[in-house]
Amino acid sequence: MIKVKTFTNELKIFHAINELNQLDQKVNDFIKENRIKKVVSVSDSCTTDNSGASIGLIRVLAYEEGLKQKRK
């Protein structure tokens, strides 16, 4: 079954690389914690304010849900 998860992060001037690294870490942690074996797609989109300046980032992860293993 294909599932979708959305992650968001605020962007601040002169701190974008740190925020992108934090967003990458959130996604990587999600993949690891949920034992995701197959990522179908990853897509980024910026959000803007009234002046057109980028103020946030939305990352969408589409992945294939695997069978959960039974714990003994």
Tell me what pLDDT residue 68 has.
59
23 domain residue, yes or no: yes
Q: How far is CA 46 from CA 8, 15, 38, 61, in A?
A: 10, 15, 25, 15
When divided into structural domains, the chain yields a total of 1
pLDDT surpasses 50 at 72 = no
38 domain residue, yes or no: yes
58 domain residue, yes or no: yes
pLDDT in tens, 15-58: 888 999 999 999 999 999 999 999 999 999 999 999 999 999 99
20 domain residue, yes or no: yes
pLDDT surpasses 60 at 62 = yes
Question: In CATH, what number is assigned to the domain containing residue 25?
Answer: 3.30.1660
- Work out the pLDDT band at 13, boundaries 50, 70, 90: confident
60 domain residue, yes or no: yes
Domain region containing 53:
2-64
- CA-CA distance, 22 to 16, in Å (whole number)? 10
69 domain residue, yes or no: no
